[in-house]
Amino acid sequence: MLKELKKFLFMIVLGWKYIKIFKQIYFHPFITQKYAYQELSHARQEYSNKVLDFLHIKVKLVGKIPKKNRILYAINHRSLLDILVMENIFSRYNKSGAWIAKQELFDDPIYGKFFQYSGSIPVDLENKKGLVRFFKSIKRTLATVDDFNIYIFPEGERYGGEGIKKFQSGAEKIAKANNLDIVPIYINDTLEKVFKEAPYKEPYSVEVHVGEITNYENLEEKYLTFYKSVKEKKA
């Protein structure tokens, strides 16, 4: 119980410190959108790396993140740790971009402000007018920021079962509407359990696999092929 409390307390206290940093960037009157996303991304990455260090979790990357930008990264989703693990990887490649997150996360009393000011982009799937604004916002940002990347969980929510949950249509539609390449990412661990048992006495290694660049067509089918190839190699 004490271990659990200490972990959450560390993340929340550190999170509030970074919310102040996010707000300074978010509300800065004299910086460009490109520079703002770069700085917000760096701050998220710093926060993520500090939390992973505290939890004693290391990230092993199998494959390479492309040098080019304007890519949609399609990532499987098991735990809140998924974002931290991916930010750790993006920090190694000096990537900047934004997470696509459900509106309800922005309304959360604990994490809401973190998502709101850290550069994440909310989407409300039940609001048609909101969806139109969402797609227009993505298009405007991509037209202005030449090194912008999009990070999304195509399953739409955390999935605790075996394999991959059926994809929602958002990732494919965003990539198609903006002519974006897609890179599939598979986090090969049950991070809900990993987070529950952290922090570790000895470093715990999480394995993340990067697939080849592809396009939006038949995204779910391509992702499943990539996922199966990872599992076959591990068998």
37 phi, psi to nearest 5 deg = -65, -35
Rounded to whole angstroms, the Cα distance separating 97 from 147 reads 8
Query: Residues 175-225: pLDDT tens digits?
Result: 999 999 999 999 998 888 888 899 999 999 999 999 999 999 999 999 999
57 phi, psi to nearest 5 deg = -115, 130
Helix axes 2-26, 33-55, angle to 10 degrees: 170
Query: Residues 87-129: pLDDT tens digits?
Result: 999 999 999 999 999 888 899 888 899 999 999 999 887 778 8
**CA-wise closest residue to 89 among 143, 39, 144, 49:** 49
- Ordered structural domains, the chain, with CATH: 2-234 (3.40.1130)
pLDDT score, position 232:
86
Rounded to whole angstroms, the Cα distance separating 8 from 10 reads 5
First-last CA distance in the chain: 36
Q: Give the 3-state secondary structure of residue 65.
A: coil
